[in-house]
Every structure is written in structure tokens, then in C-alpha cells.
Amino acid sequence: MGFRITTWNVNGIRNPFGYHPWSVNRTYQAMFDTLEADIVVMQECKIQRKDLQDDMVLIPGWDVHFSLPKVKKGYSGGLLLRKEETSVVDFFSSPSRRFLNQLVYGGLVFQDRDEGREQPVLWDLCREFHPTRQGMYTCWEVKKNARPGNFGSRIDYVLCSTGIKSWVYNADIQHGLMGSDHCPVYATFSDIVKKDGQDFHLLDLLNPEAYEIYCVSLVTKKTGVNCGRSFYMCSRPLGPSGDKEIGTEFRCRTFIWSSDWSGRL
């Protein structure tokens, strides 16, 4: 089939639903699919902006553009629809999407990976906690008022490396919070996290310079294979419990061999 352009004076955009075959399946999606056109132009839509509904403007597979009169409201008006021809392969093969999907675990990559990007390195935290959720969009087109019908895209992420993935216990979007064409996206970290098999308070790891303040360098004097090795341990005094603690102002469980300390996390 060639490229088809259809023009139709509908005498009111809701008017066709009173006739067969449109009355059988009263949806705009079915109407435009039945027309089998690549571009549809409608005249005399006779509708005001305030009366537009989601199923009129958010039609999967179509770009929808209304032209409504500003002076004589509800009179005449036009509608232009253009069929979207972007395939799944085309979408995921675009340079920006392909770049992202090669970096993220679980990213869909068509054909061979690019040189130097053979293995993913980042985790998409929201998707990790909600692997099957549909419509988890974070951005909506304002001109189409696409947000109420959740006709959007997901282009906002919280990404992390494998080393700190276990520190996160929740991640999600906040689609109900208004203020932008995007919504907030968040990840929540545990207060106590593990690093090199030890428990640390997250704030201590986020402030590595704190080790220089709260840690003291000592040398092992006990006879054995580690005799003479230097190490860092917390210099704060023991608390009332008489034991090392986590997340308090007293001595914590920090113990790091000097040879293992690189000055950064």
C-alpha cells in the first residue's frame, strides 16, 4: 500500500460515532486505524480546548495536532494526525538511547555492542525495584497536556555502580508532584552499609576526610604475620556499652590496614 492522505469534514469530531462502523467501537484509535491513512486531516471539529479528552489527543501511534478558533470558540477548527513510523529497533538504536542502554544493566541493545562498552557498568535503580511496572514515565509534553493521561517518556534516572547498589533499599518516581514537565526521581540509602565486609555509617563514607579526623594510625606489635603492619582505627573513646558502636559519637568499628587505604572510596 502506498502513502495515503485522508481529508474529512466531520461536522463535529464526535459526530461519526453515530454511524456505522464507528458506532461499533467508539474510540478514536479504532477510527483512525479503520481509515488506513498515514495522514488524516479533519475539518469542522467543533470543539473547544476545555472539552478535549485524553483519548482525542493521546492516541498511540499517532502525532495529534488540533487547530482551534480563538475568537468564535467551538466553531470550525481543524485536526491533523500523522502516523508515527518509529519502530522499536529504530527507537533503541538512536545514538543517545543506544549509549545509555550499553551502560545500564538490562538495557536493550540491538546488534553488537560498541568497542569499549562490552559490559554494562551502571544500575537503573527505579527499574530494579519496579521491574514490571508499566507507564513509569517521568516527563510529559506540556503543549499536549499529556500528563493527566500519563502519555510520556522515562528519561530521568538514578544510576549507581555495582559497588554501592546494595546500599539502596528503595527507589521510585513521584509522578504526583507537580511543578515541572518532569517529576522527581529518588533513591533511598540505608543508614548502615557494608564495605569490604565491614559495617559503616553512610555519612562516614560520604565524607572520607572524616577518617583523617577520627582515625588514628597505629602499628601492630603482636607477634605474628601482621607484626609491624600499620592500620587505621577509630580514635574516639568507647561508649557506655564498652563496645564499638555504629552511628554514634563513640568509637566505631572502623579498622583498615594502611596498605588497603587508598584515600578514597
The C-alpha atoms of residue 228 and residue 2 are separated, in whole angstroms, by 83
Angle at 26 between CA 20 and CA 31, to 5 degrees: 75
Q: Determine whether the annotation assigns residue 260 to a binding site.
A: no
Residue 120 CA to residue 102 CA, distance in Å, equals 6
How many whole angstroms separate alpha carbon 219 and alpha carbon 229?
A: 6
Picking from 11, 74, 81, the residue whose alpha carbon sits closest to that of residue 47 is: 74
Q: Annotation-wise, does 172 bind a ligand?
A: no
Cα within 13 Å of Cα(59), Cβ side: 23
In angstroms, rounded to a whole number, what is the distance separating the alpha carbons of residues 133 and 62? Answer: 23
Cell numbers found for residue 78 = 481543524
Residue ranges at the known binding site for Mg(2+): 181-182
Residue ranges at the known binding site: 181-182
